[in-house]
Structure 1
Amino acid sequence: MYFNNASEIWEDLQVKFAQTNIPKLFNLCKEIAYLSQGNLSISSYFTKFRTLNDELDALTETPRCDCGKCTCSVNEKLDKFCKSTKLSQFLMGLSDQYTPIRGHLLLMTPMPTLSAAYSILMQ
């Protein structure tokens, strides 16, 4: 109400509301890193893990090549890396009773998706 033009209003709003999510990202990453199945069922553990990762995905953006000239498949490599990291984090948090199936999942080619690994564990 005390600004001379719309540009000054937008600048003020940007300063007020353009806060970083670094503390939230830190807490989510920490929670994912320390998450373990413990006494939870596979279903509950998977749901909690997936919820945290979905929230993390909503706050972050995987770097992408959008030049249209790449022939190195960098985007596919990044996707594969992110998926393997999530699968590894999920498997690390499983209870020790799942050690044999965890080893089997890690040796599968191609690597299973997180959902496929969950399905195998449920069986």
Structure 2
Amino acid sequence: MKIALSVKNKLAFIDGSIPKPVITNQHLLNAWTRNNNIVISWLLNSVSKEISASILFAESSADIWNDLKDRFHQSNGPHIFQLRRELMNLRQDQDLVSTYFTKLKAIWDELTQFRPMCSCGKCQCHGVKNMDIFVQSEYTMAFLMGLNDSFAQVRSQVLLLDPMPPINKVFASIVQEE
């Protein structure tokens, strides 16, 4: 949904960064109302009839978005546990490196949905950047651990690098070796 709203340049309506204008500027109010109603209709058409009935009378698309987020965006411990278990148990075995990597990446991408992110976008402490570097090294380690022993030499070379290269570069090196 966020992708569709972004393409239509309407994300600011659901995150509340375009507030409802004051009534003194009727032209702005009309434009805001029209665009807000467009986003509301998209949201209503994207949910089931039962859910749409409970959000039908909200005043703004941001209200609807926040209501839906509060109701349905919850951390899912058992699902996260299952994904981490799959990640820890995944091995290349008879797969090609690209098939193995694709399976790993699918799990990583799903786990990323549960990772906390900076919401202010103004972090000055580089904590988000450092966390990203750490997560990338974790991905690289998981990838290397699941590879067959035939890649032991390349694995050792990668592990000696400082800083560790991004996962995509490691994948490319392993595929060349394959």
Counterpart of 1:30, as a letter, is R
Bigger relative contact order, structure 1 or 2 (CA pairs below 8 A, ≥6 apart)? 1
Q: Which has the larger radius of gyration?
A: 2
State the superposition RMSD in angstroms.
2.8
How far apart, CA to CA, are the structure 1 residues paired with 2:69 and 2:88?
Answer: 33
- The answer as to 2:175 corresponding to 1:89 is no
Q: 1:93 to 1:17 in 2, by over 3 A?
A: same
Secondary structure of 2:107 counterpart:
helix
Task: Identify the residue that residue 90 of structure 2 maps to in structure 1.
Answer: 35
- The two structures have a TM-score, normalised by structure 2, of 0.55
Structure 1 unaligned regions, length at least 5? 1-5
Runs (4+) of structure 1 exceeding 2 A deviation are: 13-20, 61-70
Q: 1:119 to 1:74 in 2, by over 3 A?
A: same
Structure 2 unaligned regions, length at least 5? 1-56, 59-63
Q: 1:62 to 1:99 in 2, by over 3 A?
A: farther
How far apart, CA to CA, are the structure 2 residues paired with 1:15 and 1:98?
Answer: 46
How many Å apart are 1:111 and its aligned residue? 1.5
Secondary structure of 2:147 counterpart:
coil
- The answer as to 2:165 corresponding to 1:112 is yes
How many Å apart are 1:26 and its aligned residue? 0.7
How many Å apart are 1:106 and its aligned residue? 1.1
- The two structures have a TM-score, normalised by structure 1, of 0.76
Task: Identify the residue that residue 61 of structure 1 maps to in structure 2.
Answer: 115
Partners of 1:38 and 1:95 within 8 A in 2:
yes
Structure 1, residues 37-56: CA drift from partner, whole Å, max 9, x if none?
Answer: 11111011011011111111
Partners of 1:65 and 1:75 within 8 A in 2:
no
